[in-house]
Amino acid sequence: MNQDTICALATAQGVGAIGVIRVSGPQTIDVVQKIFKGKNLHQQPSHTIHFGTIRDDQNLIVDEVLISLFKAPTSYTREDTIEISCHGSDYIIQKILKLLLKNGARLANPGEFTQRAFLNGQLDLAQAEAVADLIASDSEASHQTAINQIRGGFSKQIAQLRESLIHFASLIELELDFGEEDVEFADRDDLRQLIHRIQSVLVPLIDSFEMGNVIKNGVPTVIVGKPNAGKSTLLNRLLNEEKAIVSDIAGTTRDVIEDELFIEGIRFRLIDTAGLRKTNDTIEAIGVERTLQQMEKASMIIYLFDASEISLKEIEEQIQSFNAPYVLVGNKQDKLSVNQKQEFEKAYPAIIWISASENQNIESLQKTLVQKVKTKEIKAGDTVVTNLRHYQHLLQTSESLNHVLEGLSNSITGDFLAQDIRFALHHLGEITGQITTDDLLANIFSKFCIGK
């Protein structure tokens, strides 16, 4: 398959100042030269740029272009690669792609350039996956973690751990070869120490996933409360736009509205809900049902109530059913007298008192939300696991190593130790791609865009 020469638009679809078409594979220079009038590309050194024209079958000019030439193995894919920078018209781009196809290239599959980079040893699997994350990054934090991973920080650590473990695995396998004879090539104390050392690397990585997941996917946050508590008003206030329908007829927000809000770089996926109350209206009942479903999925719950109708008993009953961190928020504090407010603040210090419509104390709510999420501060350069697949393999590695430790304490035989070490090696290898299956690769790269 790698003998094919592939091509695809690498820039976004649609009109732009320029479009970049990428071509990679052994026939790249031949194929492009057939439609390019300018210098002889075969004779040009790698990493050079050449001006010329793309011509169609009738030798008519399709566009004036720049050709960026990267010769194997010093390209992203480690194959001969050309990037054609043309004018960003859909018509021109389609025309050039068709000419490339006609002259021997085929259209690339999603992620195929990066897949080739991986297969040719330019990137390991974790780095290749980080390329997709980098393209998808939309906040400082998600960008930072993806860049760290592409630079190989995470992969290097995993590869080193794996190396040190392979050494022990081979010693223990050697013992097995001696069968009945009572020999121990692998020093059990050294092995125990090594496993503790590996666990001290694995555990922080595993723990970082919770925060990594927050960085990558945001925090699903639902706003719940009785109808008319001011949920839609608060949502609008937080988002600074009129998104939900605000009305004083109870039960007007019937559907679930979702939007994103960044506070201190953390993405909160805000979900406004129809509110919680018993109702005979069928449509509203569906809304209440959805609210309950959303609460199941939420990582954070903002429980909003009307401070002028406070009934803590009711709230206490409800929050018992929450299984995510929650923030209690008393809204409409503007309706309270100064005395009432002071009394409330003293009696219920955990409650945040705001006025959504009067824009009072919203900042303190935002701060509390961030505090609840930030279990751990992430410093620049910290390795954070953001990928579920990596997380699962790290967990399984750690479990297997715990089995080895248990085995060592119970002085079990080498063959059982060897088996658990092999499991650990397998899972570490799956992270960086030293062990892969076609299904795994297909699954990972199919999620990429075409042209990457």
Q: Which residues bind ligand GDP (CB under 6 A)?
A: 225, 227-233, 246-248, 253, 275, 331-332, 334-335, 355-358
Count of residues making up the chain: 452
Burial class (CB in 10 A: 0-12, 13-18, 19+), 278: exposed
Least distance to ligand GDP, CB of residue 321, Å: 19
Q: What angle do CA 144, 150, 151 make, to 5 degrees?
A: 90
Name 317's Cβ contacts closer than 8 Å, sequence gap at least 6. none
Of the two residues 24 and 232, which places its CB atom closer to ligand GDP in the complex? 232
In a 13 Å sphere around the CA of 250, the CA atoms on its Cβ side amount to: 15
- Give whichever of 332 and 393 is closer to ligand GDP, judged by the CB atom: 332
Closer to ligand GDP by Cβ: residue 111 or 225: 225
Strand partners, 269: 220, 260
Residues 6 or more apart whose Cβ sits within 8 Å of residue 440? 430
Shortest Å, Cβ 223 to ligand GDP: 8
Query: Which residue's CB is nearer to ligand GDP, number 225 or number 433?
Result: 225
Can you read off the two tokens belonging to residue 2?
């790698």
User: Smallest distance from the beta carbon of 205 to ligand GDP, in angstroms?
Assistant: 41
- Angle of CA points 147, 152, 158, to nearest 5°: 130
CB of 362 to ligand GDP, least distance (A): 10
Q: Which is nearer to ligand GDP, 43 or 240 (CB)?
A: 240
> In angstroms, what is the minimal distance from the CB of 251 to ligand GDP?
7
What is Dmax (Cα atoms) for the chain?
Answer: 87
* CA separation for the pair 256, 270 (Å, rounded): 10
- The smaller minimum CB distance to ligand GDP, of residues 93 and 257, is found at 257
β-pair type (219-224, 300-306): parallel
Backbone angles phi, psi at 324, to 5 degrees: -125, 160
Task: Provide the CA 77 distance to its chain's centre, in angstroms.
Answer: 23
Nearest approach, Cβ of residue 323 and ligand GDP (Å) = 22
CB nearer to ligand GDP: pick between 59 and 339: 339
In sequence order, what are the beta bridge partners of 353? Answer: 330
Shortest distance (Å) from residue 220 CB to ligand GDP: 18
At its nearest, how many Å lie between ligand GDP and the CB of residue 308? 8
d(Cα 305, Cα 313) in Å, to the nearest integer? 12
Q: Which residues pair with 386 in a beta bridge?
A: none
- 3-state class of 283 per DSSP? helix
Residue with Cβ nearer ligand GDP (53 or 357): 357
